[in-house]
Chains A and B, each alone.
Chain A
Amino acid sequence: MSFVSRGFRGKRRDEGPSGRMPPGQYLVDDFPVLSAGPTPRTPLEEWDFAVTGAVGEPKRWTWEEFRALPSETLTKDIHCVTKWSKLDTVWEGVSVDTLLEDVESAAEYVLAFCDGGYTTNLPLEDVTDGKAWIAYSYDGEPLDPEHGGPARLLVPHLYFWKSAKWVRGLRLLDEDEPGFWESLGYHMYGDPWREQRYWGD
């Protein structure tokens, strides 16, 4: 590195409390909006959530049916691959375990698919056993469209690009299949604690 701009310090980055921040992350107090395209606006009457793919029988819930399912409030830390993190974020959602309860499948992988065409892939075991939710509320309010409302996938233990906004379903797969960002350089798994941001990390 050669040139240094005299007197430039940049925004002071809050490195957050030790032990809770994965390597390379900094704390923010706003909630940055990142988007790969226009915000979808599906009316709730047309919204549904599906579990499809390598399953005995596909399942589907309308918005009313989905909201009638048991849900929980959870507080989680979230970490974006663009390096910002937020601690103790509060969400309300339906556990993916609930949605997969009666699903028969030998599949080991899942592809989340969304309004607007976004997809992201995960091992099935990373969205089960209390590790993932379909969240419809953030910070006590209905989830804003710009943050993925009416509902988004929430998988806090992985980089936040895996917490797909505007999620409409999960397709169970026998083989891992890269999603939108995973097919273009981003890590197939995405563990923030091992800093798995890009291919080869």
Chain B
Amino acid sequence: MDEQDLKLDGNAAAGLLRELFAFELTTARGRCENCGAVAEVGAVSVYANAPGSVLRCPQCESVLMRIVSNGGRYWLDVRGISWLEIRA
């Protein structure tokens, strides 16, 4: 397996995000705190084959969001996102 195979798109995290948010987050727009790039969450890189899910900026690959879940307990870190614009 190529390590390239491990990178997925934002929609790979859509199901997990729907467990946490009452609306579809992949169409939300956000700004990368590190490089300022703005993109829809569906367009970010997702690494889900890990002890948690890591969403990274498609431009600079810095961490936007991290999610860990363990049977009903979730941990969420969104420090890598300056803001999210959601049309609910």
Contact = CB atoms under 8 A, between A and B. Distances in A.
B54 interface: yes
Interface in A4-19: none
Interface in A107-139: 117
B29 interface: no
Interface stretch (A29-37, A53-61, A68-76, A94-102): A29-37
Contacts of B35: none
B47 A33 contact: no
A117 B79 CA distance: 15
Nearest to A186: B51
A151 B82 CA distance: 34
Given A33-B1, A34-B49, A183 B61 contact: no
Interface of B: 1, 3, 6-7, 45, 47, 49-52, 54, 56, 61-63, 66, 68, 70, 73, 75, 77
13 contacts: A35-B3, A35-B49, A36-B54, A37-B56, A38-B3, A38-B45, A38-B56, A38-B61, A117-B62, A181-B51, A184-B52, A185-B75, A186-B68
